[in-house]
Amino acid sequence: MSIATIVFIALALAMDACAVAISYGVAMKELRVRAAFRIAFAFGSFQAFMPVVGYMAGLGVRRFIQDYDHWVAFGLLAVIGIKMISESFSLDGAKRSTDADHIPTLLLLSVATSIDALAVGMSLSLLKVDIIQPALVIGAVTFAVSYLGTVLGTMVGHLFERKMEFAGGLILIAIGLKILYEHLFSQRPLP
């Protein structure tokens, strides 16, 4: 899998965390660097860890579904993408009521925003992609995007929150279609 594809996957997965980070920023009203770092670290760490967990789970089932693994990968990415697009139209108050100093809430939101990364890790396992590089890239990109989202949220977050989640969903669906195309119609991967 190319580094460009990994970065696009990381960006798509980070949109959920970014939307929540923007909510944190909106709730803060003015930037608190330490809180922004804590938010970014929590989201980035969980986004890096969950694909590894999904990858390990995928190793257990890979041999049973290797003949149609590209369909499973496409299905998982498409479902995640559709879920993200749907959520972009209904961001609820639970995501908006945030307090960076309340660690249990931050950890709960970190897990919630990284569930999609678990499914992507399983997809990568089925596609026989080594997980170390994608997990590190996903974590680093999520950290950066979450930090920037918190900063952006303190400035004009209410304008972008829904658009970020929608864009992330579209990117995941496009990557799923690319994987499907490569396995069905092409002998060489798309860039």
Q: What digits encode the pLDDT tens for the residues 33-44?
A: 998 999 999 999
Give 134's pLDDT tier (boundaries 50, 70, 90).
very high
Q: What digits encode the pLDDT tens for the residues 33-87?
A: 998 999 999 999 999 999 999 999 888 876 676 677 678 777 877 877 787 678 7
Structural domain contains residue 190: no
Give 139's pLDDT tier (boundaries 50, 70, 90).
very high
Structural domain contains residue 104: yes
With beta carbons less than 8 A apart as the criterion, state whether 46 and 76 touch.
Answer: no
Cα 39–Cα 32–Cα 150 angle in degrees, nearest 5: 45
Structural domain contains residue 110: yes
Q: Judge whether residue 178 has pLDDT over 60.
A: yes
Structural domain contains residue 28: yes
Structural domain contains residue 93: yes
Q: What digits encode the pLDDT tens for the residues 84-129?
A: 678 777 755 444 445 566 788 788 888 877 878 888 898 888 888 8
Structural domain contains residue 146: yes
Total domain count, the chain: 1
Structural domain contains residue 134: yes
State phi, psi for 93 to the nearest 5 degrees: -65, -25
- Residue pointed to by tokens 């860890």: 49
Structural domain contains residue 126: yes
Domain membership of residue 59 as a residue range: 3-185
* Buried/exposed 127-148: b ≥16 CB within 10 Å, e otherwise: bebebeebbebbbbbbbbbbbb
With beta carbons less than 8 A apart as the criterion, state whether 38 and 99 touch.
Answer: no
Cα dihedral value 125, 130, 134, 139, nearest 10:
90
